[in-house]
Structure 1
Amino acid sequence: MVEQAAHRMAERIAANAPEDWTRAVFSGHAGSGGSGITGGYTLHGAHVPGGRPDLHPLLRELAEAVRDDRGWDPVAWEMECLPSGEYRLVTFTGAVSRVPEYGGGYEIVLDPDHRLPQPGLRQEGSTAAPAGDPELAATRFRAYLERRAAILGHSEELPPPVTAAALDEAERRIGRPLPADLRALYLIADGDGIEYRHRYLIGNYGWLPLEGLVAECTEWRDWQDRPWHGWDLEWDAVVFDTTPADTVRRCGDHPGWIRFATGEDGNFLAVDMDPARDGRPGQVILTGRDYDEGPEYVADSVTSLLQEHLELLEQGSYEKYDDRISLNEPAGDPGTRQIIGGIPDEVPPTLQAIHINDAAGTVDLTPLTAAPGLRCLHLNRSTTADLTPVRGLPVESLRVTLDGGDLAPLAGHPHLASLSLDTTAPVDLTPLRTAPNLHGLDLSGAETSDLAVLAGLSGLRYLALTRRQWATLCDRREVPPALAAVRLAGDDVTFEEALALALRLGLGTGSALRVTGSL
């Protein structure tokens, strides 16, 4: 029962309260995937740091009770308790959830199925021919196995090959062709695993059997095209380019990436059958858990990768552990892609992201023009007065505090996708009307001359405002027409305020579950 779970939560909160407390407010989420909690106690009007009670076991009870009662999983919740013993619990679906980090407040998801397009989908595709050669790949693979056998003192047992018909059927099931050189390897052996024990032949990764390759393609695609970490993280996320540039599409994952070898840690070697302009079909990349910010280019083909493996063995660049060989593959050098801190005296041309933190004085952004591939520019607790240098850079994610100056340099900016803007004086938003790819905007720290401009941003999908700003926009009926998620910003906003805003934006909240009681 939800009422019983709420009563036990209130008891735990009261029992852990400091002396002379005047109020306690906690909020978070709970469900089959776990629970989270934020908030605290107030003492004579001031927030008391720390002292948060362990509510997680009780949140599991709450989640189960709400799931039984309403079918929601996960649920968002907020509980207020007073020293008098009175308490109030509000729960709703995960469509309205607390955002404990940057700017605080509540996130409201209006369209749970909407996903922001990945920048790589807009990239020009390759027209080049594959670099792989099936006959050469087979020859190199056999030579590679012979060299390994000489080092180990015996041949390595491998699964029997698959048939050409099996390869054709696999391609039908995944909906894409395999590169000819990878097909050639499967006609020699069906991966490198015997009873789940891999030989780690390719790039020190476990080469998957053909059925495993198909399963990785079909099961992953059936789940989703790429990991989605929630709007609070995704609305201004950036995907890095590879080295060499424009070889692999700038995506967290892509249906054209066929995973054929596993690191058994959530990372994979894949053949890329839909490369960017300067890539080659069948090129080998690294993708998976550790590559949300972009894949890593490995080789132009399986054929070339096998040649690299042969050369490493010939050079003695490997380690032998009992019955296993581990190649000492040289680390790639993409140059400095990200800087956290200040702008260095010499800006590396390979820079793609910079986070300028706590800068003294007004930051001059001019030196960043030396980084022609800069995609992410975040000024954190730092100010600038001139955005002109941004005009000629491919910046997609911009977080800035303007101390004077204006947004004119952003007019027509072809790359700008997200903007988090703080200001020290009112600023005109009109230049944003002509930024064609702007999909996310946070104005909760900005003074603006006219919020009506937002009504004309038809491509805007995410918007963060304060309660006052939202009231103005809603009262004037100037809400952007295609929002998929919003944030009611502010550390002091309540769940009830978030539910009220959600209702004004068209999300039905009448089923919200409210429980009141007294200890």
Structure 2
Amino acid sequence: MVEQAARRMAEQIVMSAPNGWTRAVLSGRAGRGGSGMTGGYTVPGTRAHTGLPQMHSLLMELAEGIRNDRGWEPVSWEMDCRPSGEYRLVTFTEAVGRVTGRGGGYEVVLDPDYRLPQPGLRQTAGTAAPAGDPELAATRFRTYLERRAAILGSREELPPPVTAAALDDAERRIGCPLPADLRALYLIADGDGIGYRNLCLIENNAWLSLESLVAEYTDWREWQDRPWFGWDLEWDAVVFDTTPADTVRRCGGHPAWIRFATSEDGNYLAVDMDPARDGRPGQVIATGRDYDDGPVYIADSITSLLEQHLELLEQGSYEKDDDYISLCRPACGAGTRQIIGGIPEEVPPTLQTIHINDATGIVDLSPLTEAPSLRRLHLNRSTTADLTPVRDLPIESLRVALDDGDLTPLAGHPHLASLRLNTTAPADLTPLATVPNLHGLDLSGAHIPDLTVLSGLSNLRYLALDRQQWAALLDHGKVPPALAAVRLAGEDVTFDDALVLASRIGLATEDALRVVGSL
């Protein structure tokens, strides 16, 4: 079945080929969850690979055959075809897969269960008492319902309340207490939905029934705090701080965030029962699909949030559509957190990430010292000569092209977690040995005369090198001891090259499946 699928794939590739093509190299992933493909045809005289044939059904057939034959799910694959009709297919588990984007190449996952620790877990825990007041929350909620009824001309129907025993049981099932003011609301109504219709009473979100809250929490815990998007995206990911700072832990998700309302698009309101230093237990945050950069602080409690809702109604900051009310919250004045393009004349103190793109000349980073919360600094197709301004900034993700190769300013940097380095001169990696939280390095664009320093980076989990760099490091037997994933960078590297690297760093690849044929 696999051989037949490979042949049909080659036939489709040849049939779809443009005039003048000399080679087609396509690769991707396929399994029950779907298929993906990158690469294309090489045509002399053109700048890049062109076009992709339609092969989803063939890839699903290939995946099924390999699943039946080897038990792999999903699979990674690479197909190399020539105009002569010769073709070669290589497949393996998803532990080895093509990386798209800058530098290309292949990624090898050595420890599929490892996840990088979230920075919020290192933050100081809050010690303040909850800000919520259950009696005041109940009073405000009833007043809120009365004012809505006055606007609509009739009272809105709500589900009956739950019992205190049901709330106790829910807390036992999730293993975490609910804030007292949220409990008070459930003793008035079990969410705001009847049938398929929700009133969206709280921040224009559907308030979940108690049973749905428990189910949502249980399902959420199964993916361990937040989705994992793969090492190619996660190795230098950054989580923003909230405004006000140090109120919510800098995490993509946390087991003490209890989702109680949803906008029904993958985003949620949650009560935070384990706040950061300046937060309050029971504070309300927004989290979910659109909050990969971190949660957003909403209010110090359900009680305070209800007060805000009453004020919006009093101010007329709402829209009425038949029997539905939508609150209109004014735009948040948290300040600029992200800049893309270049360093402005006045750097906002709230800046947390900046992408400096296509700068002419050497970039002076000293103005960025006006951004004391800067977490991500990426120079894209831009070069600097001095990293001294980085030394006193809390930068965690640094992508930089360095004119002189001097990494001394990074020595002992307490926050730096990931570094992508390009150099125009040889660079000495010795200063990185003193960076305590460094977990990711991409040196594939750097000139590093001595890579053996890497063996002393005991916390390094991700490493990207080009073919020659990997050969030098492996030949000296100096691979960092705790790597969970690596990348073989280069537009021209093949699946076989990646399998060889994987084998040399300890991954068993001898059962990789290869099919060779000719049309």
Normalising by structure 2, report the TM-score.
0.98
| d(CA) in 1 for partners of 2:48, 2:348 | 44
Deviations 1:191-226 (A, max 9, x none): 111113111111110100000111111111023221
| d(CA) in 1 for partners of 2:363, 2:497 | 37
1:289 CA displacement: 0.4
Secondary structure, aligned partner of 1:130: coil
| d(CA) in 1 for partners of 2:5, 2:457 | 44
1:21 CA displacement: 2.8
1:48 CA displacement: 5.2
Q: Which residue of 2 aligns with 1:419?
A: 419
Q: Which amino acid aligns with 1:69?
A: D
Deviations 1:207-258 (A, max 9, x none): 0000011111111102322111000000000110111001000111111110
| Contact persistence 2:462–2:484 (CA under 8 A) | yes
| Contact persistence 2:146–2:155 (CA under 8 A) | yes
Q: Which residue of 2 aligns with 1:90?
A: 90
Q: Which amino acid aligns with 2:30?
A: A
1:47 CA displacement: 6.3
| Contact persistence 2:405–2:425 (CA under 8 A) | no
| Contact persistence 2:405–2:426 (CA under 8 A) | no
Q: Which residue of 1 aligns with 2:399?
A: 399
Q: Which amino acid aligns with 2:442?
A: D
1:46 CA displacement: 6.8
| d(CA) in 1 for partners of 2:332, 2:21 | 57
Whether 2:329 is the aligned partner of 1:314: answer no
| Contact persistence 1:22–1:45 (CA under 8 A) | no
Deviations 1:46-101 (A, max 9, x none): 76542321222211111111111112121110111122211110000111000011
| d(CA) in 2 for partners of 1:363, 1:204 | 45
Q: Matches of residues 370-519 of structure 1 in structure 2 within 5 Å?
A: 370-519=370-519
Give the paired residue count: 519
| d(CA) in 1 for partners of 2:368, 2:457 | 28
1:449 CA displacement: 2.4
CA RMSD of aligned residues (A): 1.1
Q: Matches of residues 42-441 of structure 1 in structure 2 within 5 Å?
A: 42-43=42-43, 49-441=49-441
Q: Which amino acid aligns with 2:298?
A: V
| d(CA) in 1 for partners of 2:42, 2:189 | 66
Q: Which amino acid aligns with 1:112?
A: P
| d(CA) in 2 for partners of 1:11, 1:109 | 32
| Contact persistence 2:405–2:428 (CA under 8 A) | no
| Contact persistence 2:98–2:105 (CA under 8 A) | yes
| Contact persistence 2:424–2:447 (CA under 8 A) | yes
Q: Which amino acid aligns with 1:211?
A: E
Identity of counterpart residues, as a percentage?
77
| d(CA) in 2 for partners of 1:248, 1:365 | 29
1:13 CA displacement: 1.0
Secondary structure, aligned partner of 2:290: helix
Q: Which amino acid aligns with 1:187?
A: L
Q: Once structures 1 and 2 are overlaid, which stretch shifts more, 387-396 or 400-409?
A: 400-409
Secondary structure, aligned partner of 1:83: coil
| Contact persistence 1:40–1:47 (CA under 8 A) | no
Q: Which amino acid aligns with 1:328?
A: C
Q: Once structures 1 and 2 are overlaid, which stretch shifts more, 77-86 or 127-136?
A: 77-86
| d(CA) in 2 for partners of 1:298, 1:250 | 15
Secondary structure, aligned partner of 2:101: coil
| Contact persistence 1:454–1:480 (CA under 8 A) | yes
| Contact persistence 1:386–1:405 (CA under 8 A) | no
| d(CA) in 1 for partners of 2:209, 2:420 | 46
| d(CA) in 1 for partners of 2:47, 2:497 | 20
Any stretches of 5+ residues in structure 2 without a counterpart?
none
1:22 CA displacement: 2.5
| Contact persistence 1:429–1:449 (CA under 8 A) | no
Normalising by structure 1, report the TM-score.
0.98
Q: Which amino acid aligns with 1:262?
A: T
Any stretches of 5+ residues in structure 1 without a counterpart?
none
| d(CA) in 1 for partners of 2:423, 2:203 | 50
| Contact persistence 1:79–1:90 (CA under 8 A) | yes
Deviations 1:261-304 (A, max 9, x none): 01001001100000000000000000000001010100000000
| Contact persistence 1:8–1:58 (CA under 8 A) | yes
1:429 CA displacement: 0.1
Q: Which amino acid aligns with 1:76?
A: S
Deviations 1:118-159 (A, max 9, x none): 110100010000000000001111111111111111111111
Q: Which amino acid aligns with 1:346?
A: E
Q: Which amino acid aligns with 1:311?
A: E
| d(CA) in 2 for partners of 1:234, 1:443 | 17
